[in-house]
Amino acid sequence: MHIPDGYLSPSTCAATFAMAAPFWYVASRKVKAQLHTKLVPLMAVVSAFSFVVMMFNLPLPGGTTGHAVGLAVAAIVLGPWAAVLSISIALLIQAVFFGDGGITAIGANCFNMAIVGPFVAYAVYQVIAGRSALTSVRRVVAAGVAGYVGINMAALIAAIAFGLQPMLFHDTTGAPLYAPYPLSIAVPAMMIGHLTIAGIAEAVAAAGLVAVLQRYEPELLDLTASRHVAERGWGQTRGLWFGLGLFMLLSPLGLLAAGTAWGEWGAEDFADPAVRQEIAAASGNVAPPAAVPAGLERLSGVWSAPIPDYAPAFLKDERLGYILSAVMGSGLVLLVFVGFGALRDRRSQSA
Amino acid sequence: MEDPAYGVCTCRGKKRRGLLESLIFGLIGADTHSLEAETTSALPGLLQGVDPRLKLVSLLALIVAAVSTQRLTVLAALFLLAVGLAVVSQIRLARLVRQVWIGVFLFSGVIVLPALVLVPGETIAHLPLFGWPITLQGLRSASFVIGRAETAATLSLLLVLTTPWPHVLKALRSLGMPAAVVAILGMTHRYIFVLMQSALQMAEARQSRLMAPLDGPARRRLMLTMIGMLLSRTLTLGTEVHAAMIARGYRGEVRLLDEFRTRPSDWAFLLATLAVAATILGGRL
């Protein structure tokens, strides 16, 4: 996958540099905003890891071996933008210091392996992993598929770049000046190797590494699993939701209560002899005022409750009225907090 | 017979390294490459004496010229120029043969060999046994690819073998590369060897505890667990390095020292190489 010098024309190399440059710029901005002073040390050690991990040869099913680029792993653990930077740095050092990949082809290699591969892998991982728990098998499968698709997309872009060369660049005798095979040969030739050995190596590396991290360091998978709302929202609060539902169903128990709720009297209660007796009983046998207090009378008309006494007018059954009131009341409270949460998220994103 | 997990196995009469041995040999090889580069960069040769910034520009210009030329004769001349630079810089040709020429020839050769018969054009010979026509255009195309790859790789290696890595980084900085990127490149280079050492120790520790060959899934688990642990150590290392940098006053601003001084001979070398590159590029040679 590391394209050496001489396979791509200088104009192709320049074009791939130009295509990669905006990604490098945005990646550096985003990662710096995320990491602040940690940018330099963390990117340095992660880039070093990206370099070293390419030296690990993995045994593959079928008896062969292959080494992975680690593009899916980097995207899953660090996110796609940090993966862009770390893999690009690793590729740059590989090209300049170790001669693996051409210096003029650094832009093409970075575009394929540090940009297309990680972004595709990240998208596939997120789609398949969805809102599953950090330790679910689904994430292992998602990582494997992400690695496989990511490396093959990177290979496809490289193959297309190869295949375009003989169409565009010839010498005076008609001989191709760079990669000599047209798209009809370059694409299948490149893809056969990647759909089989290299793709499986990347899939094994990504799936296996996610499985290892799930077992030993699951928190490392947390950064890009921001969408595991299910685990935070449902998995951890499942008991609370069940409890809330149970209390709603039990809310008609309030009908069994005798007496009156002290202080929760309406203006009309002062004119009802039975209620006056209850008020007196609840107040240490102190008789309530003969007339409705002036302030209470004045303010009682300000607001009319839509469901007075938890009994909607359209429901004959008091118990159903209580349950419906509980559902509506809880729902309104939840809506208010969801609204506040969304407002807070929007503010934190814009900050 | 599957690859052994450890040791050197004589499988069907062929000696084969186990996975851990391959990893250990690879890690040691990379380490050796770095040590050798440091040694050769201290030799009193022509390229070692050139200012790193001007040398970087010069060698990059020659690489671009090699990739751009449309004549095999010019490509051959550039290759000879690279060999000449190696000789006057006290880089042994045996090293170039071992580190570049054989590897590049085998890699590119396998890729472009079919081009001899697949690229349409004027038939100049037939492939023995098969009788397939070898075309002039196919031969020229294969020669271009191999020649460019060999020449560019030789020039790249000359840069690394004659320039300490910190000087390469400072040269990149002087060419406008952002200071943060240069700092990351420098630290990455350092921590590559730290992590390689860590990986080496893990491989040796695991190797010393293996009592019998492992089956395929077990070998796969072995390598993946090592990579996972290496990632965990990497992130811990990143946090520790960050804390150490903060403790020493780092606040996110990267400052690099640049103490290079150019001499007239450096400028002469730059002008000579730029003249060669400009002639090739400008003259469309």
pLDDT digits (tens, 9 = 90+) for A172-229: 888 899 999 999 899 998 899 889 888 888 898 899 889 988 888 888 888 777 554 4
pLDDT for the residue B15:
54
CA distance, residue A350 to nearest chain B CA (Å): 23
State the Cα angle at B224 between B204 and A100, rounded to 5°.
80
A:B CB pairs within 8 Å: 265
Between helices A10-35 and A80-97, what is the axis angle to 10°? Answer: 130
Which chain A residues in 44-83 lie under 8 Å from chain B, judged by CB atoms?
Answer: 44-49, 51-53, 55-61, 63, 65, 73, 77
Q: Which residues in chain A have Cβ-Cβ distances shorter than 8 Å to B252?
A: 36-37, 39
Q: What is the CATH code of the structural domain delimited by A10-228?
A: 1.10.1760.20
Do residues B56 and A103 touch, judged by C-beta distance below 8 A?
Answer: no
CA distance, residue A190 to nearest chain B CA (Å): 10
Q: Which residues in chain B have Cβ-Cβ distances shorter than 8 Å to A57?
A: 19, 22-23, 26, 223
pLDDT for the residue B158:
92
Contact B224 A205 (CB under 8 A): yes
Do residues B48 and B41 touch, judged by C-beta distance below 8 A?
Answer: yes
Instruction: Identify which of B1, B25, B15, B27 has the alpha carbon closest to the alpha carbon of residue B216.
Output: B1
Q: CA–CA distance from A92 to each of A10, A97, A105, B169, B234 (Å)?
A: 18, 8, 10, 12, 19
Name the closest residue on chain A to residue B101, using Cα atoms: A99
Rounded Cα gap, residues B185 and B250, in angstroms: 17
One-character DSSP codes across A211-228? HHHHHH-GGGGSTT-TTT
pLDDT for the residue B76:
95
pLDDT for the residue A234:
62
Low pLDDT (below 50) residues in chain B: 1-8, 10
One-character DSSP codes across A252-292? GGGGG--S--TT---GGGGG-HHHHHHHHHHTTTPPPPSS-
CA distance, residue A304 to nearest chain B CA (Å): 60
Name the closest residue on chain A to residue B244, using Cα atoms: A41
Positive or negative torsion for Cα A208, A214, A219, A222: positive
Rounded Cα gap, residues B25 and B29, in angstroms: 6
Rounded Cα gap, residues B63 and B60, in angstroms: 5
pLDDT for the residue B237:
87
Domain assignments of chain B as residue spans, ordered by start = 46-163+268-282
CA distance, residue A211 to nearest chain B CA (Å): 9
- The partner residue sitting opposite B188, judged by closest CB among A37, A89, A172, is A89
Low pLDDT (below 50) residues in chain A: 228-231
Domain assignments of chain A as residue spans, ordered by start = 10-228, 251-303
Amino acid at B208: S
Cβ neighbours of residue A213 closer than 8 Å, sequence gap 6 or more: A77, A220, A221, B228, B231, B232
Cβ neighbours of residue A298 closer than 8 Å, sequence gap 6 or more: none
